[in-house]
Amino acid sequence: MSFTHLHTHSYYSLLDAVASPEELIIAAKKHGMRALALTDSNALYGAVEFYRLAKEYNIKPIIGSELTLIDQSRLIVLVKNDSGYRNLCTLISTGQFQGGHLKFKLSLKDVFKNKDGLIVLSGGQKGWVNRLLAKRDLDGAAQYVRRMQEIFGNDFYLELQHFDPNDTLINLRLRDLAAENRIPLVATNNVHFTSIKDWSLRRTLHAIDANTVLEKVETAGSSEQYLKSTMQMKELFSSFKSAISNTQRITGNCNFEFKLGSPIFPSIDLPEQESSFSWLWKKSFEGATNRYKPLTREVTARLQYELNIIHELGFAEYFLIVKDIVDYCHNEHIPCVGRGSAADSLVSYVLEITQVDPIRHNLYFERFLNPERTDPPDIDLDLCWKNRDKVIEYVYKKYGRDRTAMICTFNTLQSRSAIRDVAKTYGLPEDEIGKVTKHLPHRPIEEIEEAVNTLPELRELRHNLSLYEEIMRIAARISDFPRHLSIHPGGVIIAPNKLTHHTPLEIAGKGIVIAQYDMYSIEKLGLVKMDLLGVRSLSIITDCIRMVNGDAKKHTGRSFSGKGVPDFFFKNSASLSPLDLRTIPENDPAITNFIRSGLTLGCFQLESPAMRGLIKKMLIENVDDVIVAVALIRPGASGSGGGMKEVYIKRRAGLEQTEYLHPSLEPALGDTYGVTIYQEQVLQIAHHVAGLSYAKGDSLRRAMSKSRKKKEFLAVHQDFVKGAIKKGLAEKDAEKLWQYLAQFTGYGFNKAHSATYGTIAYQAAFLKYYFPVEYMCAVLNNHGGFYSKAAYIEEARRMKIRILPPDVNYSVKDFTAEDGTIRTGLSPVLELSERTIEAIIKERSTLGFTDLYDFIRRTRIGERELEHLIKAGALTSIHPSAPQLMLLKKLFFKNNKKAEIAKYVAGKSYLDPFNMYQKILNELEILDFAASDHPLYLFEERIACENIVASNQLDKHLNKRIRVCGWLVTSRRVATRSRNYMKFLTLEDRFGLCEVVLFPNVYEQHGHIVRTHGPYIVTGMIQSRLPGEANIIAEKVELIKMNKGEIEDLLMRDTTNDETVECI
| Domain-embedded: residue 777 | no
Q: How far apart, in Å, are the Cα atoms of 364 and each of 283, 357, 682, 704?
A: 21, 11, 11, 18
Q: Which of 712, 742, 760 is a domain's end point? A: 760
Q: Which amino acid is residue 8, in one-letter code?
A: T
User: What 3-state class would DSSP assign to 271?
Assistant: coil
Please provide the DSSP assignment of 605-638 as one string.
TT-SHHHHHHHHHHT--SHHHHHHHHHHTSHHHH
Percent of the chain with pLDDT over 70: 91
Tell me: the pLDDT tens digits for 537-564?
989 988 898 888 777 677 766 666 655 5
Q: Which amino acid is residue 328, in one-letter code?
A: Y
Three-state SS for 430-463 is: HHHHHHHHCCCCCCCHHHHHHHHHHCHHHHHHHH
| Rounded Cα gap, residues 404 and 526, in angstroms | 14
Rg (CA), the chain: 34
| Rounded Cα gap, residues 588 and 925, in angstroms | 42
| Range in 285-294, 741-750, 772-781, 798-807 the model is least confident about | 741-750
Is the pLDDT score of 1064 beyond 50?
no
| Rounded Cα gap, residues 971 and 699, in angstroms | 40
Q: Which long-range contacts (CB under 8 A, 24 or more apart) does 474-477 make?
A: 474/200, 474/201, 474/204, 474/422, 475/413, 475/415, 475/418, 475/419, 475/421, 475/422, 475/445, 476/418, 476/445, 476/446, 477/201
Task: Provide mean pLDDT across the span 308-319.
Answer: 92
Q: From its phi and psi, is residue 976 left (phi > 0), alpha (psi between -120 and 50) or beta?
A: beta
Q: Are residues 559 and 517 in the same domain?
A: no
Q: Which amino acid is residue 701, in one-letter code?
A: R
Q: Which candidate, 23, 106, 18, places its Cα nearest to that of 65? A: 106
| Domain-embedded: residue 788 | no
Q: H helices within 479-535, ranges in order?
A: 519-525
| Range in 115-119, 120-124, 181-185, 661-665 the model is least confident about | 661-665
User: What 3-state class would DSSP assign to 742?
Assistant: helix
Task: Provide mean pLDDT across the span 124-147.
Answer: 95
Residue 1063, pLDDT score: 45
Task: Provide mean pLDDT across the span 242-271.
Answer: 93
Q: Are residues 688 and 613 in the same domain?
A: yes
Residue 663, pLDDT score: 86
Q: How far apart, in Å, are the Cα atoms of 883 and each of 229, 403, 905, 908?
A: 77, 60, 16, 14
Contacts of 666 (CB under 8 A, 6+ apart): 660, 674
Q: Are residues 316 and 389 in the same domain?
A: yes
**Helices (H) then strands (E): counts for the chain:** 43, 21
Q: How far is CA 569 from the centre of its chain?
A: 35
| Rounded Cα gap, residues 876 and 899, in angstroms | 19
Q: Are residues 220 and 243 in the same domain?
A: yes
Residue 851, pLDDT score: 92
Task: Provide mean pLDDT across the span 614-632.
Answer: 91
Q: What share of the chain is helix, strand, coil (3-state, %, to 5)?
A: 50, 15, 35
**1036 forms bridges with which residues in the sheet?**
1019
DSSP H or E run through 492: strand 482-494
| Rounded Cα gap, residues 353 and 336, in angstroms | 8
Strands of 118-121's sheet in order across: 35-41, 60-68, 74-79, 118-121, 156-160, 185-187
DSSP 975: E
1023-1062 burial code (b ≥16 CB/10 A, e <16): ebebebbbbbebbebeeeeeeeeeeeebeeeebeeeeeee
Domain of residue 854, CATH code: 1.10.150
Of 1 and 242, more confident: 242
Contact 675, 351 (CB under 8 A): no
Q: Are residues 103 and 242 in the same domain?
A: yes
Categorize the per-residue pLDDT at 899 as very low, low, confident or very high, splitting at 50, 70 and 90.
confident
| Rounded Cα gap, residues 296 and 687, in angstroms | 24
Categorize the per-residue pLDDT at 716 as very low, low, confident or very high, splitting at 50, 70 and 90.
confident
Is the pLDDT score of 1055 beyond 70?
no
**Domain total in the chain:** 6
Three-state SS for 105-147 is: CCCHHHHHHCCCCEEEECCHHHCHHHHHHHCCCHHHHHHHHHH
Q: Are residues 453 and 502 in the same domain?
A: no
Q: Which of 875, 896, 926 is a domain's end point? A: 926
Please provide the DSSP assignment of 697-724 as one string.
HHHHHHHTSTT--HHHHHHHHHHHHHHH
| Domain-embedded: residue 264 | no
| Rounded Cα gap, residues 427 and 433, in angstroms | 10
| Rounded Cα gap, residues 944 and 1017, in angstroms | 10
CA dihedral angle for residue 745, residue 749, residue 750, residue 753, rounded to 10 degrees: 170
Q: Are residues 516 and 662 in the same domain?
A: no
Q: Which of 700, 733, 760 is a domain's end point? A: 760
Q: Are residues 865 and 978 in the same domain?
A: no
Q: Are residues 911 and 823 in the same domain?
A: yes
| Domain-embedded: residue 542 | yes
Q: Are residues 382 and 462 in the same domain?
A: no
Q: Which candidate, 711, 713, 714, 692, places its Cα nearest to that of 703? A: 713
Q: Which amino acid is residue 262, in one-letter code?
A: S
Is the pLDDT score of 579 beyond 50?
no
Contact 220, 187 (CB under 8 A): no
159-183 burial code (b ≥16 CB/10 A, e <16): bbbbbeeebeebbebbbebbeeeeb
| Domain-embedded: residue 812 | yes
Backbone angles phi, psi at 489, to 5 degrees: -60, -20
Contact 654, 647 (CB under 8 A): no
Of 709 and 803, more confident: 803
| Domain-embedded: residue 263 | no
Q: Are residues 336 and 352 in the same domain?
A: yes
Residue 578, pLDDT score: 46
User: What 3-state class would DSSP assign to 84?
Assistant: helix
Is the pLDDT score of 373 beyond 80?
no
End-to-end CA distance of the chain: 87
Three-state SS for 798-852 is: HCCCEEECCCCCCCCCCCEEECCEEECCCCCCCCCCHHHHHHHHHHHHHCCCCCH
Categorize the per-residue pLDDT at 390 as very low, low, confident or very high, splitting at 50, 70 and 90.
very high
| Rounded Cα gap, residues 363 and 345, in angstroms | 8
Tell me: the pLDDT tens digits for 335-349?
899 988 899 999 999
Q: Are residues 954 and 1003 in the same domain?
A: yes
| Rounded Cα gap, residues 290 and 294, in angstroms | 9
Categorize the per-residue pLDDT at 1061 as very low, low, confident or very high, splitting at 50, 70 and 90.
very low
| Rounded Cα gap, residues 680 and 363, in angstroms | 7
Domain of residue 139, CATH code: 3.20.20.140
Backbone angles phi, psi at 534, to 5 degrees: -80, 125
Categorize the per-residue pLDDT at 447 as very low, low, confident or very high, splitting at 50, 70 and 90.
low
| Domain-embedded: residue 319 | yes
DSSP H or E run through 760: helix 751-770
| Rounded Cα gap, residues 404 and 93, in angstroms | 14
**989 forms bridges with which residues in the sheet?**
992
Categorize the per-residue pLDDT at 640 as very low, low, confident or very high, splitting at 50, 70 and 90.
very low
- Burial group, residue 735, by CB count within 10 angstroms (0-12, 13-18, 19+): middle
| Domain-embedded: residue 546 | yes
Supply the range of the domain harboring residue 607.
538-760
CA dihedral angle for residue 126, residue 128, residue 134, residue 138, rounded to 10 degrees: -160
Contact 494, 267 (CB under 8 A): no
Residue 574, pLDDT score: 47
**712 forms bridges with which residues in the sheet?**
none
Tell me: the pLDDT tens digits for 62-119?
999 999 999 999 999 999 999 999 999 999 999 999 999 989 999 999 999 999 999 9
| Rounded Cα gap, residues 94 and 100, in angstroms | 10
User: What 3-state class would DSSP assign to 642?
Assistant: coil
| Rounded Cα gap, residues 797 and 787, in angstroms | 15
Contact 775, 822 (CB under 8 A): no
Q: How far apart, in Å, are the Cα atoms of 988 and each of 550, 791, 934?
A: 34, 8, 10
